[in-house]
Amino acid sequence: MFRRTAAAAPLVLCVTACGGGGSPAAPPPPPDPGYDVVAVVYYDENSDGRVDPGETVRMPDVVLQVGSRTGRTESAGRAVITGVPAGSPSVAVGTASLPPFYTAPVPVPATVPQPAGSDVMVGLKLPIGFNRPNTYMGFGDSITAGEGSSDDAGYRDRLEAKLRQRLGEATVINQGLAGTRSNGGAQRIHQALPAERPAYTLILYGTNDWNQSECKNAFPCFTIDSLRNIVRAVRGAQSLPLLATIPPCNVGMDDRCPASRQKWIHDMDELIRPMAREEGAVVVDLEAAFLAHPPLSALFVDHIHPNDAGYEIIASEFFAAITEPAATAAAVPAAPETAGAFGFVRPEAPARPTPPLTKPDRTAGE
């Protein structure tokens, strides 16, 4: 007789680790390195927001920002901003890196990743009206005319070469008239500006004012008012004013440069600097530049006219004032339409009567 028995219980295997836990966590993905954005900063001469065939000036040393990433333009105006996340950001200009008078556009849209050959073009503008772009007018006396230099061009050709090397285009015009004083300059500026229509006017006047008895006996005589009027005329014509301090003279060469003349120059320059800033001009401090390269006798051919080494200093100082950021310019409150770069402003001049001008002459000019 057979007996039914209970079926054996199935064997259950421990397929999970008897100690508990699970598979190890996957490592995090590497950070996204982002993409390169290529941008080119150019001078938009006609302010139309696009690169025209004749607009060949490219701006070096301009800082660009895309989100949290930045880059700086090289000599050809080209910058590569690395590590930009994918998306539709904008390229903004760091205005602190701009030279005086330049204004930046609103941020320019970009596409990331950037399609091949589609550099972001960023155009800077200058408020010069209908004046001629890339044209610089040297306005002054025999120093502007280049007397004493080996090529009779003074600082002008040297400056032009520096500007062309950096920007690509530049023409420096001579409106230097030997023997004239600042009051004569205040009269003839009204003919020079419409004749030349310069984008920039480089003002270097006052050396010959010393020869006028009025200036020796009634300091500061007509010099400051005359220079003020020149700057105002330049701004009124929508040209961009750069005002130089009076260079020192070559003390000790002869009796035409006594110590009293050097003190007169220094005291006059102490008035020129704040006046220039008040009137919205860039200060080009030639007095300080010459004194920083002793001995003075190595920079002159006579008592007041520089030699080639002296003219090189003048060219370098004008070049720096035109091309370097306006970090040291006065931050004077102004309406938005007059604001320039990095706190540099072109404030409206306060209303005041125009001082009478002493009749100019060249009888005692140098």
Are 233 and 354 in contact by the 8 Å Cβ rule? The answer is no
What is the per-residue pLDDT across 111-134, written as a single tens digit (0 to 9) for each? 999 998 899 999 999 999 999 999
The Cα 172–Cα 322 span in angstroms is 13
Backbone angles phi, psi at 24, to 5 degrees: -65, 145
Q: DSSP letters of 210-232? A: GGSHHHHHSTTTTHHHHHHHHHH
Per-residue pLDDT of the chain (366 residues; tens, 9 = 90+): 434 444 444 444 444 445 555 566 777 766 668 999 999 999 999 999 999 999 999 999 999 999 999 999 999 999 999 999 999 999 999 999 999 999 999 999 999 999 988 999 999 999 999 999 999 999 999 999 999 999 999 999 999 999 999 999 999 999 999 999 999 999 999 999 999 999 999 999 999 999 999 999 999 999 999 999 999 999 999 999 999 999 999 998 999 999 999 999 999 999 999 999 999 999 999 999 999 999 999 999 999 999 999 999 999 999 999 999 976 443 333 333 333 322 233 333 333 333 343 344 444 457
Hey, what amino acid is at 295?
P
DSSP 8-state symbol, 126: -
- The helix or strand, by DSSP H or E, that contains position 201, with its residue range, turns out to be strand 198-204
CA distance linking residue 210 with residue 365, whole number of Å: 9
Distance of CA 177 to the CA centre of its chain: 27
Q: Which structure tokens are listed for 64? A: 């660009």
Token readout for 303 is 């008592």
Model confidence over 187-196: pLDDT tens digits? 999 999 999 9
Classify domain 132-338 by CATH number.
Answer: 3.40.50.1110
pLDDT digits (tens, 9 = 90+) for 254-288: 999 999 999 999 999 999 999 999 999 999 999 99
- Is residue 326 within 8 Å of 335, Cβ to Cβ? no
- Any idea where the domains of the chain sit in the sequence? 35-124, 132-338
CA atoms within 13 A on the CB side of 157: 9
What would the two tokens of residue 202 be? 């480089």
Assigned CATH for 35-124: 2.60.40.10
Angstrom distance (rounded) from CA 359 to CA 187? 9
User: If we measure between CA atoms, which residue out of 259, 150, 250, 207 comes closest to residue 365?
Assistant: 207
* DSSP 3-state of 242: strand
Q: How far apart are CA 41 and CA 119, in angstroms?
A: 10
Q: Which residues pair with 112 in a beta bridge?
A: 87
